[in-house]
Amino acid sequence: MNTKQRLDSILEKWDLLKHPFYQAWSAGTLPVEALKVYASEYGAFINILENGWKTLDDLETAEEERDNSGHN
């Protein structure tokens, strides 16, 4: 097994697209209430990204996150 194959096998268990939530979302069977909770949590997370980058002294990325244009 080469390095890429080893890394792929390690990362496979963390593949979000294989998570039941995303499987249901992709299949169109995710309950609306679950999507509402996700949207609320995602929005809260997006709103704190700028501060996280500032904490890491990455002001350029913090400025990009302030715009939030990539998250709409």
pLDDT digits (tens, 9 = 90+) for 50-65: 999 999 999 999 998 8
Angle in degrees, 0-180, between the axes of helices 32-55 and 59-67, rounded to the nearest 10: 150
Type of residue at 3: T
Q: Is the pLDDT of residue 43 over 80?
A: yes
Q: Tell me the pLDDT tens digit for each residue of 13-32.
A: 899 999 999 999 999 999 99
Give me the residue spans of the domains in the chain.
1-29, 31-72
Give the model's confidence band at 69: pLDDT under 50 very low, under 70 low, under 90 confident, else very high.
Answer: low
C-alpha span between 56 and 8 (Å, rounded): 28
